[in-house]
Amino acid sequence: MAEKLTNVVNLPSPHGGTLVERILQADPREYEHLPALELDAQGYADLELIATGVYSPLQGFMGEADYQRVLEEMRLSNGLPWSIPITLAVSRSQAALYRQRVRLVWHGRTVGLLEVEERYQPDKRQEALAIYRTADPAHPGVAALLARGEVYLAGGVYLLHLDRGPFPEHHHTPRETRQIFAQRGWKTVVAFQTRNPIHRAHEYLHKVALEQLDGLFLNPLVGATKSDDIPASVRMQAYKVLLEHYYPKERVLLGVYPAAMRYAGPREAVLHAISRKNYGCTHFIVGRDHAGVGQYYGPYEAQEIFSAFEPEEIGIQIVKFEHSFYCQACHAIVTPRTCPHDSKHHLVLSGTRVRELLRAGAPLPAEFTRPEVAAVLRSAYQAEALERR
């Protein structure tokens, strides 16, 4: 169930050349006789991303040959660049129960099928060190890896029905985004990944890119994140008010990225770039500490990792930005490349500090975020505080 795409308006071909589409549109009751495997949030997200082609050329959860080569060389067994193993974990006792065809269940509903072709036991310490560069269980990605089952099941998958979730008007498949880009006549499209509300420094990156490129695909991640990250519903509301007031509507598409966050820093930046190529984007913004957490990665390692590949292998142009911030002496958003002033003039708020201000009901500086966005965030935190009382 994969089909070659006509490469209209010079959008990049999907990774590997073919857009994978594995959605059956079938009645789940037809498969109630099959053994059930309950997915976790990451497993369900990966199922959808495989089935809709965001993870092209993958057609299922990885077998051991692909898994090992991804860990060791950031390539699939056929040599195609790939940075993070996409696997389905079960307990050792469960693994023996799953043979041939299995129905995949999410929150009690049958959502997909797995054709079991292989089962293998990974070395999770090796995986953690390769993907996260640490085996520290305080790292949220490592903690999630260690909490999953000891055996990986591999094989092709099918999604029975695409559930567009809480943001249906913004939940686009790669086939749909490619059609939208073509209809708008965009020959160049820059994607931006975020798991946080957009602040003024992000806006600066977008608008610099839009000075040279046709369209912006604002593609926030809305799958599972850390408990202290701002909820997706609040972030989406903030994006909408920002786009309404400060962006040219005809040059921006807001579309959710339904992946779970792995916090794998440089390796995850590569996966994010490949995913956006599959959506049809020609460019991808990678800024400071992309997909990072804590102090596990250097500030620009997520940019440097792309030098491990030839540009044509990745197939999407990486737009690299240095850290941007508001300079009170320049009275503008700048980067170290354009600002002559020392750090005492720079307004930089950490996510932790932003949350502290919101919980205290204090205003966010207008130099940091637009007032409409600040109002959305403040309202959400006030509602959360009322619920806790």
Domains of the chain: 2-159 (3.10.400.10), 170-388 (3.40.50.620)
Instruction: Indicate the helix (H) or strand (E) that contains 293.
Output: none
pLDDT attached to residue 353? 77
pLDDT attached to residue 381? 82
pLDDT attached to residue 1? 45
Question: What backbone phi and psi angles, to 5 degrees, belong to 84?
Answer: -130, 130
The token pair that represents 121 in the structure block: 């036991």
pLDDT attached to residue 9? 55
Render 325-371 in DSSP notation, one character per residue: EEETTTTEEE-TTT--S-GGGEE---HHHHHHHHHTTPPPPTTTS-H
pLDDT attached to residue 143? 97
Query: Would you please indicate which residues are annotated as catalytic (active-site) residues?
Result: 195-196
Largest CA distance in the chain: 69
Q: What is the DSSP letter of 261?
A: P
Q: What is the mean pLDDT of each run of 10 residues along the chain (389 residues)?
A: 50 96 93 96 97 98 98 98 98 92 96 97 98 97 97 98 95 98 97 89 94 97 85 93 96 97 97 98 95 93 97 96 93 94 89 77 89 91 67
Residues 6+ apart with CB under 8 A from 32: 103, 110
pLDDT attached to residue 388? 61
pLDDT attached to residue 389? 58
**Is the bond into 57 cis (omega within 30 degrees of 0)?**
yes
Kindly report the pTM of this predicted structure.
0.94
**Measured between alpha carbons, how far is residue 302 from residues 130, 199, 272 in Å?**
15, 20, 11
pLDDT attached to residue 301? 97
